[in-house]
Structures are given as C-alpha cells and as structure tokens.
Structure 1
C-alpha cells in the first residue's frame, strides 16, 4: 500500500484522468524528443508562487529552479556542492536557454529572516541564515531605515534581492559572454501574492514596473 499522502494521490488521479488525457501526445513528444525550454525561471521555494502557475506554462515550457529567497550565489568553482550553480550550468550549456528570469515575491519568509538580524536560527545548522547572508549588506541597510514601515522594508529587500541575483549571474563567465553577444537575456520580476500583480524590472533603471499585456 502506498505511503504517499492521500491528497497527493487524489491530485495525481485528477491529473491522469483529466489533464494528461488531453496532453498525452505532448507528453509523449517530450519523452521522445527531450526538453527544449527557452526560459529558465529562478524562483523562491514558497508554495504560493509556482512559476508554472503564474505564467500559465505547460510541460516543457519552463526550466524552473527554486530555492529560499530566489538567490543566486556568485560564481565559485571549488570542491563544494553547488546545486544552484549546477542548475544554471545545465540550463545555459545543455539546454541553451535564451532567457533567465529571477522572480521574487511579496511576503517572502527568507527575506523576512534576512531583515530580522537578531532572530534565532531555526536549527543548529542555520542553513537559512547562511544562505540569506548572500544579501546581508543590503539587508542591514534596509533594516536600519526608520523612514520605511516594516512592509515597505520587506518589499524593498525582496526587489533588491533580484538585482543582487542578476549581478551574481553576470559573475558566471558563460552567462556574461552570452549576454555580451546578445544570445541570452537576464530579467527580473516580482510577484504580489495578495493581488496577483506581476512587476517586471526595467533593465535600464532597475525600477519595477507593471508590464503591458502582449
């Protein structure tokens, strides 16, 4: 007897008797020919912000990497394990994606942890604290501002984290080279869970703006 939670089995049954039936030919094609997504999305692990849902994407359309706070570490080729960098390497070198989108979101728990600098670690390893230290300089600056409310500080750092991650993407030699040749484009976005609004980062100014419908 399966040990999978019942709600997962119920969800799978709904998938296999509904959506899969209408998309079975597409799934067989993907299985036979492999994946060729043009866009990689780097998003947060937060269960409320699935990129496939936000962008109404079907199977094979997006290559998605999710981690706490949608962060990209700088390029560090060493003997340690680098899951985020490994995903980037595969997307850029094997899949040859044309776009990389860093998508942050409102009410991010990782960002909240970065702002609460005096907060106790969740566990002795403090993996979240160490990971979010990637944006520690910005977090310290934003947290010290008495001119913003707590909500404004949260949103500010969420959006700043996107700019940090895009800057770190450019430390990867292959990405920097491809961007310089116009063969890959880096994008930033911020999704508001409460309203469903998507804000896109202006590549020239760094400001976040509401994009027009295509």
Structure 2
C-alpha cells in the first residue's frame, strides 16, 4: 500500500505542475494531441521513454511491449494492439518519426535466447509473443554459438533492426518513408555506459548519439614520458 500512496502523492505533484498552474500545457492538450514522434519501446520499468528523453506531455506517442517488438503487417481478424497503435500514430496523428527504442539487459531478449532450455514453457503468453524474434535469435546463436552477455546484446540490437524491417511491411508506412514524409529510427539505450546509440544504414552499425557517463570513459594515458 505504501507504493500506491507514493503514486498518489506523485500524481498530486503532477497535477499541480501541469494542470493547476497558470499557462498549463494541458489547456491545449486536454482538447487534442499533436505529437511529432512515435516511440515503440520495451515495457521494462527502467526504460520509460518520456523519462529517458525528458519529454513534456504531448511530445511523443508511445506503445510499449516486451522486447519492443513490431510484428509484421498482418491485416487479419486477430487482435493487433501494436499495429493498431502504429496505424493511429501514422494515419490519425501523422507523426513524422518512428523510433524503435531497445535497451541493454532486456529480460525479454534473455528469455528468448534461453527459450530452448528449461524456461521454454514457463509463461502462458510471453513465449508466443517472443516467437516473433525466433529467426533473429537463431541467426545470433549461429554466430555466437552460446548464450552470453555479448550474444544477448547482439540479439537486442538485431531485434531493433527486425522491428524496423517489419515497419516497412506496412504499405502506408513504406509509402510515406519513400516519399520522405516519415523517418524510422533504431535506438539502443545502454544502461551500463549511460549512452544512447543509433543505427546508421551507411555503416550498418549502432553508433553513439551521446557520450558515456564519466566513470565509463577510458582512463587518460598515464604512460611516463620521462
């Protein structure tokens, strides 16, 4: 109950800051929203996109799920929560950017990588959801041969690329991207170094957008020149 009380106190602070003060942004936001960017992020409690990127209310339209997966375009009778959110963001809100935001130490990816072991049947829904990345996992394991921190990082990054590719299977997304009306970005939040990396198509690698925290920077050269 203490945790819930903390949330109520937090809401009161939010209300005072964003609703009750003069010139509150919600004077406009309560009527409509006009975010320019959609973020597809992991449900991990440590990776809230609004907090990571210090966004104000109304700036980003967010959908979160385990391992920040974008399924392929499947216009059938199933329930497609992620695809519905993408459709609304692109068609109704007319966002100009879609960011697939992955991160290090992803529990979903670790479970995916270990799913051929005793953990295979632990969950009722999670394993089926993660099966969307089986092809990615198999390619990573074919290269690294075993499940390690390094291979999990590779799978986390490869999962981002797979989701970016799946976004392009949506015909109305592909059309806008080719017309220069919509950009797709793949970002990776490294919780070890405190860095944000972005996938570059030119180099086919994830390159830093930010510097690491000071304690993770390489030590200065201390070779004695005397």
TM-score, length basis structure 1:
0.90
Alignment of 1:71-110 (within 5 A): 71-110=69-108
Q: Deviations over 1:2-57 (max 9, x none)?
A: 9x92121121123223455457521111113x111111000000010011111110
CA 85–146 in structure 1, closer or farther in 2 if over 3 Å, else same? closer
Counterpart pick for 2:167 among 169, 179, 184: 169
Counterpart pick for 1:51 among 49, 52, 55: 49
CA 98–111 in structure 1, closer or farther in 2 if over 3 Å, else same? same
The 3-state SS of whatever aligns with 2:86 is: helix
Structure 1 alignment gaps of length 5 or more: none
Runs of 4+ in 1 over 6 A off after TM superposition: none
CA 42–146 in structure 1, closer or farther in 2 if over 3 Å, else same? closer
Structure 2 alignment gaps of length 5 or more: 212-226
Measured after TM superposition, the shift of residue 120 of structure 1 is 3.2
Measured after TM superposition, the shift of residue 145 of structure 1 is 4.2
8 Å Cα contact 1:43-1:103 kept in structure 2: yes
Taking only aligned residues, the RMSD between alpha carbons, in angstroms, comes to: 2.2
Alignment of 1:115-194 (within 5 A): 115-116=113-114, 117-118=116-117, 119-123=119-123, 125=124, 127-146=125-144, 150-194=148-192
8 Å Cα contact 1:187-1:203 kept in structure 2: no
8 Å Cα contact 2:38-2:99 kept in structure 1: yes
Counterpart pick for 1:111 among 102, 109, 112: 109
8 Å Cα contact 2:18-2:24 kept in structure 1: no
Measured after TM superposition, the shift of residue 137 of structure 1 is 1.6
Paired residue total: 209
The 3-state SS of whatever aligns with 2:30 is: helix
- Which is bigger in relative contact order (C-alpha 8 A, separation at least 6)? 1
Per mean C-alpha deviation after superposition, the further-off stretch among 67-76 and 143-152 is 143-152
Counterpart pick for 1:60 among 58, 65, 68: 58
Q: Deviations over 1:167-209 (max 9, x none)?
A: 0000000000000100000100000123321001103333100
Larger-Rg structure = 2
CA 51–107 in structure 1, closer or farther in 2 if over 3 Å, else same? same
CA 23–154 in structure 1, closer or farther in 2 if over 3 Å, else same? farther
8 Å Cα contact 2:195-2:210 kept in structure 1: no
Measured after TM superposition, the shift of residue 114 of structure 1 is 0.8
Counterpart pick for 2:40 among 35, 42, 52: 42
8 Å Cα contact 2:95-2:182 kept in structure 1: yes
8 Å Cα contact 1:48-1:193 kept in structure 2: no
